[in-house]
Amino acid sequence: MKRITKILNHPQYIEYLNRNAEAEKERVFCRHDLRHALEVARVAYIMVLENKLMIKKDIIYAAALLHDIGRWKEYASGVDHTVISAELAISILVDSGFDSEESEQILKAIQDHRKSGKQSTFLSSILYKSDKISRLCIECLVRNQCKRFSDGRQAELYY
């Protein structure tokens, strides 16, 4: 997992996480921080193992760690963070030693991670599902205000 360590120590990655933290400092809902990214990575990895999918662990972790790095920019510009996060991830992936085929797979998963039912790869589907089920909504103090519960139903489990 040397490449994952490179991502975690990458100056741009750290900057983007700090920008997310600043943009979300008053946010009462779930945050898009390192804790969330690691929870998504762990859930995704478990799902891959349980489904006997042939996706490398560092590919899963890279997609999960990078999937929300553009949230801060979405708050400022209104442009979907899936597009922004994929753009911001390119140089981090290159600097961390991912080849073009691996990077393409990771970037596609990042771009697809909010498209309900429209994932084009196994990794995209796993990232989408793990992003949803990694949240501990049952513990949330403002769950009744969350858009995931806006219709009065509980958040759907995708597992």
Per residue in 84-107, pLDDT (tens digit) is: 999 999 999 999 999 999 999 999
Q: Which domain, by its residues, includes 28?
A: 2-149
Tell me if 92 is assigned to some domain: yes
Question: What is the pLDDT, as a whole number, of residue 149?
Answer: 54
Q: Are 80 and 74 in contact (CB under 8 A)?
A: yes
Tell me if 156 is assigned to some domain: no
Query: For the purposes of burial, counting CB atoms within 10 Å of the CB of 48, is it exposed (0-12), middle (13-18) or buried (19 or more)?
Result: buried
Tell me if 143 is assigned to some domain: yes
Tell me if 124 is assigned to some domain: yes
Separation in Å, CA 80 to CA 13, 45, 50, 115, 131: 18, 25, 31, 11, 16
Structure tokens at 38: 């690691």
Tell me if 88 is assigned to some domain: yes
Give me the CATH number covering residue 32: 1.10.3210.10
89 or 121, which is more confident: 89
Question: What is the pLDDT, as a whole number, of residue 96?
Answer: 98
On the question of pLDDT at 29 being above 80, the answer is no
- As a whole number of angstroms, the distance between CA 66 and CA 62 comes to 6
- Please state the separation of Cα 152 from the chain's center in Å: 26
128 or 142, which is more confident: 128
Tell me if 29 is assigned to some domain: yes
On the question of pLDDT at 75 being above 90, the answer is no
User: Among the listed ranges 48-52, 129-133, 136-140, which one has the minimum average pLDDT value?
Assistant: 136-140
Question: What is the pLDDT, as a whole number, of residue 120?
Answer: 73
On the question of pLDDT at 154 being above 70, the answer is no
Number of domains in the chain: 1
The mean pLDDT of 105-116, rounded to a whole number, is: 85
Per residue in 38-59, pLDDT (tens digit) is: 999 999 999 999 999 999 999 9
- pLDDT averaged over every residue in the chain: 85
DSSP state of 137: G
